[in-house]
Chain A
Amino acid sequence: MCVALPGKVIKTNGNLATVDFNGNIIQAQAGLVEVNEGDFCLVHAGCILQKLNQEEAVDMLELFQELEDLQR
Chain B
Amino acid sequence: MITLETIKDYLKKYDGEELTFMEVCGTHTAAISQSGITEILSDKIRLVSGPGCPVCVTVASYIDKLVSLSMEENTCVATFGDMLRVRGSEKSLNDAKASGGKVILVYSPMDVIDIAKKNTQLNYVFAAVGFETTTPIYSLMLKQIIEEKIENLKLLTALKTMPKVIDWVCSVDSPINGFIAPGHVSVITGSDYFKELALKWNMPFVVSGFEAIDLLNAIYALINYKDKGEVLNLYPAYVTDKGNKAAQKQVEQYFTSCKSAWRGIGQIEDSGMQLKEEYLKYDAGSQNLIEDSKINEGCCCDKVIIGTINPTQCPLFKKVCSPETPQGACMVSTEGSCYHYYISNRKR
Binding site for B on A (CB under 8 A): 1-4, 29, 31-33, 42, 44-47, 49-50, 52-54, 56-57, 59-61, 63-65, 67-68, 70-71
Tell whether B307 is near chain A: CB-to-CB under 8 Å.
Answer: no
Of the A-B pairs whose beta carbons lie under 8 Å apart in the complex, a sample of 16, sorted by A's number, is A1-B26, A2-B27, A2-B134, A2-B184, A29-B108, A31-B250, A49-B184, A49-B188, A53-B238, A59-B236, A61-B1, A63-B236, A64-B1, A70-B224, A70-B225, A71-B224
Please judge, given known A-B contacts A1-B55, A1-B82, A2-B26, whether A47 and B232 are in contact too, CB under 8 Å.
no
Which residues of B, 164-196, contact A by the 8 Å Cβ criterion? 182, 184-185, 187-188
For the residues of A in contact with B, the DSSP-based class is: mixed
Cα A63 to Cα B231 with chains together (Å) = 12
Tell whether B129 is near chain A: CB-to-CB under 8 Å.
Answer: yes
Residues of B within 8 A of A59 (CB): 236
A47–B110 CB distance below 8 A: yes
Please judge, given known A-B contacts A1-B80, A52-B238, A60-B234, whether A33 and B130 are in contact too, CB under 8 Å.
no
- Max count, chain A CB within 10 A of own CB: residue among B55, B108, B131, B250: B108
Residues of A within 8 A of B111 (CB): 46
Tell whether B240 is near chain A: CB-to-CB under 8 Å.
Answer: yes
Task: Give chain A nearest CB distance to B86 CB in angstroms.
Answer: 12
Q: Select A42's contact among B53, B108, B184, B333, beta carbons within 8 Å.
A: B184
Task: Give chain B nearest CB distance to A10 CB in angstroms.
Answer: 19
B140–A1 CB distance below 8 A: no
Tell whether B244 is near chain A: CB-to-CB under 8 Å.
Answer: yes
Cα A65 to Cα B250 with chains together (Å) = 37
Cα A44 to Cα B246 with chains together (Å) = 16
A42–B224 CB distance below 8 A: no
Task: Give chain A nearest CB distance to B163 CB in angstroms.
Answer: 16
A52–B237 CB distance below 8 A: yes
Please judge, given known A-B contacts A32-B246, A47-B110, A52-B238, whether A65 and B26 are in contact too, CB under 8 Å.
no
A50–B182 CB distance below 8 A: no
Task: Give chain A nearest CB distance to B11 CB in angstroms.
Answer: 12
Residues of B within 8 A of A68 (CB): 1-2
Task: Output the nearest chain B residue to A40 by Cβ-Cβ distance.
Answer: B237
Task: Output the nearest chain B residue to A52 by Cβ-Cβ distance.
Answer: B237
Please give 14 more A-B residue pairs, beta carbons under 8 A apart, in addition to A3-B335, A67-B2. Answer: A1-B26, A2-B182, A29-B137, A32-B137, A42-B238, A46-B137, A49-B188, A56-B236, A59-B236, A60-B234, A63-B236, A64-B2, A68-B2, A71-B10
Please judge, given known A-B contacts A29-B140, A50-B187, A67-B2, whether A44 and B133 are in contact too, CB under 8 Å.
yes
Please judge, given known A-B contacts A42-B184, A46-B110, A60-B234, whether A33 and B137 are in contact too, CB under 8 Å.
no
Cα A3 to Cα B339 with chains together (Å) = 16
B110–A4 CB distance below 8 A: no
A67–B221 CB distance below 8 A: yes
Residues of A within 8 A of B140 (CB): 29, 31-32, 47
Cα A32 to Cα B143 with chains together (Å) = 12
Task: Output the nearest chain A residue to B228 by Cβ-Cβ distance.
Answer: A70
